[in-house]
Amino acid sequence: MHRVAVIKGDGIGIEVTEAAMKVIEAVTDRIEFVEFEGGFRVFERYGVPIRGEDIEEIRKMDAVLFGATTTPFNVPNYKSLILTLRKELGLYANLRIIPDLWNGREIYVVRENSEGLYSGMFRATEDRVIDFRIITEEGSRRIARFAVELAKNKESFITLVHKANVLMGDRFFRKTVIREAEKEGIDVRERLVDSFTIDLVRNPWNHGIILTENLFGDILSDLAAIHARSIGVIPSGNYGIDIALFEPIHGSAPDIAGKGIANPIGAILSGAMLLDYLGLDGWKIWNAVRSYVKVGSLTPDLGGVAMTRDVVEGVIEEIESEIDPLEWDEVWTDEIRISFIPTMFTK
Ligand code: IPM
Ligand code: MG
């Protein structure tokens, strides 16, 4: 049995996480979910977005399934729950898979998740605030290793995005990445972040594994999201040494919360990434979602009129009619997506 912590969070985070849990349960009975509370409501009661004792419990789990939380930027002392968890659980690598579910194409963004401008270190005086952009050798090395392994597994290359013509930290970062990639014979193509944005809009599908530091990764992954038709379908994984956390990249969408119309696909595919991580059958979910979107009705963000639960039911039906892997030889097509997370980053 694998023990998975569940933090549904706020707004549609609750609905989509419940949807993902149902789909996971349709694939495997080897997961036990343990629920924890976190987010702004917890902060209002306890002054922290998640209680210390809960973090200690979560550390003992095999993985975390996360919904979405509201991060207000005008509440003094509020620290985002997801940033807190990334830090507390040492989740240094963020992989976002931006899928074109209708044509079987994907964009991969690997974002360094623990350093850069998100280090939380700053110095503030009366008339000046300095945020420290931390880039360390170890931080760069481990994220480089993550991207290199992905590239190896996909027989692909790395597009390294930086601003090394201006930023000292990026000169340091790029040296480490290039060295790690060379060791494994992985090709690195370098791009400056500003001009790369144009390419990411016009020609998004041919960049291999896009690797970048924290802030650039935050921005570029949202930009790349336009190619998925809706931000509601994009999953992500935050990987650490002993544990990983999976979350759709969308927010808590308070305007549609509770209406039953949130798109659950991003959360469901995050569930697929979670199964990949645990060495279970994540591919079943990927393929079921791909088959479903071609025939089934879609939620309003994708121009349809479906409810969250219609999508969940439809995806589960697809899972139940899935082809047995033993028959793959006869039916192998490009349609079938296999898991590709390198085993060194699985549980
Ligand atoms: C994300 C989010 C977070 C981030 C926020 C909520 C702190 O935008 O996961 O990309 O910037 O990392
Ligand atoms: Mg973001």
pLDDT tops 80 at residue 336: no
Active site residue 78: no
Instruction: Determine the pLDDT at residue 343.
Output: 61
177 lines ligand 1 (CB under 6 A): no
Q: Are strands 93-100 and 31-35 parallel, antiparallel or unpaired?
A: unpaired
Q: How distant, in Å, are the alpha carbons of 146, 173, 312 from that of 8?
A: 27, 35, 17
Over residues 90-108, the pLDDT tens digits come to 999 999 999 999 998 999 9
The more confident residue out of 66 and 119 is 66
Q: What is the DSSP string of 15-73?
A: HHHHHHHHHHHHH-S-EEEEE---SHHHHHHHSSSS-HHHHHHHHTSSEEEEEE----S
Look at the alpha carbons of 6, 338, 86, 244 in this order and tell me if their dihedral is positive or negative: positive
Q: Cβ distance 107 to 205 under 8 Å?
A: yes
Among the atoms of ligand 1, which is closest to the Cα of residue 214?
Answer: 12
Rounded mean pLDDT, 28-52: 94
Domain 103-228: assigned CATH number = 3.40.718.10
The more confident residue out of 57 and 72 is 57
Q: Cβ distance 162 to 192 under 8 Å?
A: yes
Expressed in angstroms and rounded, the spacing between residue 331 Cα and the centre of ligand 1 is 40
Length of the chain: 347
Q: Residue 185 — φ and ψ, nearest 5°?
A: 70, 30
Q: Where along the chain do the CATH 3.40.718.10 domains lie?
A: 1-93+231-347, 103-228
Instruction: Determine the pLDDT at residue 338.
Output: 55
Q: Cβ distance 61 to 243 under 8 Å?
A: yes
Cα gap 182→42, rounded to integer Å: 46
Instruction: Give pTM, 2 decimals.
Output: 0.93
Choice among 92, 118, 277, 292 that is catalytic:
118
Active site residue 222: yes
Q: Does domain 1-93+231-347 have CATH number 3.40.718.10?
A: yes
Q: What's the whole-number average pLDDT of the chain?
A: 92
Q: Are strands 188-192 and 158-162 parallel, antiparallel or unpaired?
A: parallel
Rounded mean pLDDT, 24-39: 96
Q: Which of 102, 100, 105, 130 is nearest to 117 (CA)?
A: 130
